[in-house]
Amino acid sequence: TGDASKWDNPPYATASSFLYGPDEYIFTKTLCMFGTTIRNSSLVYNTKSLYGWSESRATFLAVRAATGKRGYVVSRSTFASSGKYAGHWLGDISSKWEDLQTSIVGIQEFNIFGIPYVGSDICGYRENTTEELCLRWQQLGAFYTFSRNHNRIDLILQDPAQWPTVAAATKKANEFRYRHLPYLYSLHYNVSLHGGTVVRPIFFEFPEDPLVYSINYQFLWGPAMMIVPVVYQGVTTVDAYLPPKSKWYSMYDSYYGVAQTNGNSTYPAPWTSLIPVFIRGGYILPRQASALTTVLARKNRFELVVALDSSNSASGEFFWDDGDSIPSDDLSTHNFCHFTFEFKADNDSGATLTIVKTKSCTDITFPYLENIEVFGYPFYPDLPKATVNGNPVALDSYDYSPFTNIVNITGKGLIDYNTGSNWALKWPNRQSFNLL
């Protein structure tokens, strides 16, 4: 009652009425809104949302001061610009299919809010999970930018090893994640430099397509990777929509590297495979062989996967640094390397992959780029005649299938990122061959 009551009983509904009951107030489970902060200079009503932001910033600075390294901070109380200091954890959700579904909406929303490092409690937090729910959540959670299984101490154990099926599915999903960390890391680097989203809704890339606005449970990593999780109980297939404006290729177990039919289709999604993931034509993704830890993975050979568009071309980029050192406030001055990739092919001229180091870095040793896959290659390549900067290269293995239109080449020390700044990998074609 009294004049101060207007802060605790504002003339609008708040989240408290939804979470705790229709008669609850805005101060339920927190402080009274007429309390004061900042040395009695402001009301809690005006500053409560800044508390988590302030705590994140203080913790962020303390972690760096204490360790001399970046570290990371995750908060469930964030505000505008918190993404500079912390990631976001979507809170104590329940072990329900509905909460698995809404987590997909949540990771997209928080990327739009400017907090790209975000995830929910894989397998749920409240209530006991089930084998099937946990398996599907582990498959999805490998594509959260912040990926963590989190459980309540008084509930059944839900780490993947509790069920052989969940352990196997988690291993497969995490191996895919770790293999594509260079792409994910590059997305985060780009967002840190220029703003934008790492996880994004489909309509961000295809705003002119009216069908994408009703799709909630598919999402993209950057512009190039489409993820289609299983979000319903008891199913072994998923329906997916691949926007017709682009070509799409399968990246999961079924039809790996093969061009897919655009529009609406149904795809197999058994417990034993990766969920459907597709790469968009016109893009080049950097990746590495996976390992048990990110430290070990960084030492493995680099790879490129090239997905050709309808003009038989593709492009991409790659950011890399030491992974630990603290950058300055102006990230553009930090010690990192940046590479661009361009691939073009036609029947007469053959194929050319151009790699340019647009920003150099010091005291960073790169593993060699030793494997390149090209999806959608419609010609018959003469791979033994491949050259790098005009010099013949000895490939350890090479393969082309006219049935899948996939080129795969491997060569020890094929491209050495540590020397030079421009590379051109070329090969001629023998003849035209197109299944279409």
What integer pLDDT is reported at residue 434 of this predicted model?
46
Please state the separation of Cα 65 from the chain's center in Å: 29
Place of tokens 């361009």: 342
**Identical fold between 199-278 and 283-432:** yes
DSSP sequence for 2-38: -TTHHHHS-SS--HHHHHT-TT--TTTTS--TT-EET
User: Quick check: 290 and 178 in contact, CB under 8 A?
Assistant: yes
Show Cβ contacts of residue 360 under 8 Å, excluding neighbours closer than 6 positions: 337, 421
* Per-domain residue ranges of the chain: 199-278, 283-432
Percentage of residues of the chain with pLDDT beyond 90: 88
Which CATH class for the 199-278 domain? mainly beta
User: Quick check: 389 and 424 in contact, CB under 8 A?
Assistant: yes
Q: How far is CA 143 from CA 111, 173, 222, 269, 296, in A?
A: 13, 8, 12, 16, 20
How big is the CA angle at 123 (ends 121 and 125), to the nearest 5 degrees? Answer: 55
Task: Please count the helices (runs of H) and the strands (runs of E) in the chain.
Answer: 9, 27
What integer pLDDT is reported at residue 329 of this predicted model?
86
Confidence of residue 25 (pLDDT cuts 50, 70, 90): confident
User: Quick check: 338 and 344 in contact, CB under 8 A?
Assistant: no
Residue 433 in this model has a pLDDT that exceeds 60:
no
> Exposure of 306 by Cβ count < 10 A (0-12 exposed, 13-18 middle, 19+ buried)?
buried
Q: pLDDT tens digit string along 229-255?
A: 999 999 999 999 999 999 999 998 879
Which tokens hold the place of 137? 């959540």
Please state the separation of Cα 94 from the chain's center in Å: 24
Confidence of residue 432 (pLDDT cuts 50, 70, 90): low
Residue 321 to residue 334: CA distance in whole angstroms: 9
- Bridge partners of 375? 307, 406
Mean of per-residue pLDDT scores for the chain: 95
DSSP sequence for 157-224: --SGGGSHHHHHHHHHHHHHHHHTHHHHHHHHHHHHHH---SEE-HHHH-TT-GGGGG--S-EEETTT
Note the helical H segments in 68-180: 97-112, 131-141, 164-179
Average pLDDT over residues 413-424: 96
Residue 88 to residue 110: CA distance in whole angstroms: 8
Q: Residue 365 has what DSSP assignment?
A: P
What integer pLDDT is reported at residue 1 of this predicted model?
61
Average pLDDT over residues 5-15: 86
Show Cβ contacts of residue 16 under 8 Å, excluding neighbours closer than 6 positions: 24, 25, 26, 27, 28, 29
Which tokens hold the place of 288? 């590495």
Tell me the one-letter amino acid at 101. Answer: Q
Maximum Cα interatomic distance, the chain, rounded to a whole number of Å:
87
Show Cβ contacts of residue 273 under 8 Å, excluding neighbours closer than 6 positions: 172, 252, 253, 254
Handedness of CA 54, 68, 299, 193 (dihedral sign): positive
Among the listed residues 105, 174, 183, 181, the one whose alpha carbon sits nearest the alpha carbon of residue 341:
183
Q: pLDDT tens digit string along 90-106?
A: 988 999 999 999 999 99
- Bridge partners of 239? 266
Residue 423 to residue 428: CA distance in whole angstroms: 17
What integer pLDDT is reported at residue 436 of this predicted model?
39
State whether residue 397 is helix, strand or coil. strand
Top-ranked range on mean pLDDT: pick from 2-16, 245-259, 299-313: 299-313
* End-to-end alpha carbon distance in the chain: 76
User: Quick check: 417 and 368 in contact, CB under 8 A?
Assistant: yes
Place of tokens 């960084």: 298
User: Is 2.60.40.1180 the CATH number for 283-432?
Assistant: yes
